């Protein structure tokens, strides 16, 4: 009996020694994350109902078409593509207060693929506006390792999640000016094309 007890005690001590000598999770190298977005992509128009322009139909200088698709590539601690990271673990965050999201996170289109890549292309459900907004990409528990800049505008000019008379007044004041909040097509002037987008959004709220 004593011999068996001694054997068990020895094995327990060995396991404890292994556990104490193993590196903590925090000691493992973090994933490497690289991000790409077209350099000419400057702005997007969003709506509260999430039916605004997709990132693939963004605006470049002077309102010219641009593709603002955000692509990340995640490499794990072994140098291999980190495939299968769930979309819920991949999201964007705007660091500026002007953008008012209808949900807490801007989740990726899908999980990382076999190459460790994930994209954001879908329209955002949001109000408010931000000029040259600073965005960061969140990947799993690794914080915000990569970022980019993008201007975002919506008909919910004051960002209260409702396009109402307050926004009508603000938009009317901006007509024929260069008010950056109301230049929805990014052509440096608030004009007829912006009126069309604004009137289509009157009465809109978050889903």
Residues 25-49: pLDDT tens digits? 333 346 788 999 999 999 999 999 9
The predicted model gives 2-11 an average pLDDT of: 46
Provide the residue range defining the domain that includes 59.
29-201
Instruction: Please list, residue by residue across 6-21, b when 16 or more beta carbons sit within 10 angstroms of its beta carbon and e when fewer do.
Output: eeeeeeeeeeeeeeee
pLDDT in tens, 62-81: 999 999 999 999 999 899 99
C-alpha closest to that of 52 among 184, 195, 192, 193: 184
Is 207 among the domain residues?
Answer: no
Q: Find all residues with CB under 8 Å of 59, minimum gap 6, and list them.
A: 41, 42, 43, 44, 45, 65, 66, 185, 186, 187
Is 23 among the domain residues?
Answer: no
Tell me what pLDDT residue 123 has.
Answer: 96
Entry pTM: 0.81
Is 16 among the domain residues?
Answer: no
Is 46 among the domain residues?
Answer: yes
**Domains identified in the chain, total number:** 1
Is 181 among the domain residues?
Answer: yes
Is 182 among the domain residues?
Answer: yes
Is 35 among the domain residues?
Answer: yes
């Amino acid at each position: 009996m004593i011999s068996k007890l001694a054997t068990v005690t020895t094995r327990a001590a060995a396991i404890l020694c292994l556990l104490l000598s193993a590196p903590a999770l925090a000691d493992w190298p973090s994933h490497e994350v690289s991000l790409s977005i077209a350099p000419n992509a400057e702005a997007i128009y969003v709506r509260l109902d999430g039916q605004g322009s997709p990132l693939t139909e963004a605006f470049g200088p002077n309102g010219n078409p641009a593709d603002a698709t955000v692509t990340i590539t995640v490499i794990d601690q072994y140098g291999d593509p980190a495939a299968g990271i769930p979309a819920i673990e991949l999201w964007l965050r705007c660091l500026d207060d002007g953008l008012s999201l209808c949900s807490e996170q801007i989740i990726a289109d899908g999980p990382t693929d076999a190459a460790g890549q994930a994209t954001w292309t879908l329209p955002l459900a949001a109000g408010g506006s931000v000029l040259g907004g600073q965005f960061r990409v969140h990947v799993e528990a690794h914080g915000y390792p990569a970022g980019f800049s993008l201007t975002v505008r919506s008909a919910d000019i004051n960002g209260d999640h409702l396009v109402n008379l307050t926004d009508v007044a603000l938009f009317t004041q901006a007509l024929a000016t260069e008010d950056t909040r109301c230049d929805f097509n990014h052509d440096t002037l608030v004009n007829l094309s912006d009126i069309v987008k604004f009137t289509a959004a009157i009465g809109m709220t978050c889903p």
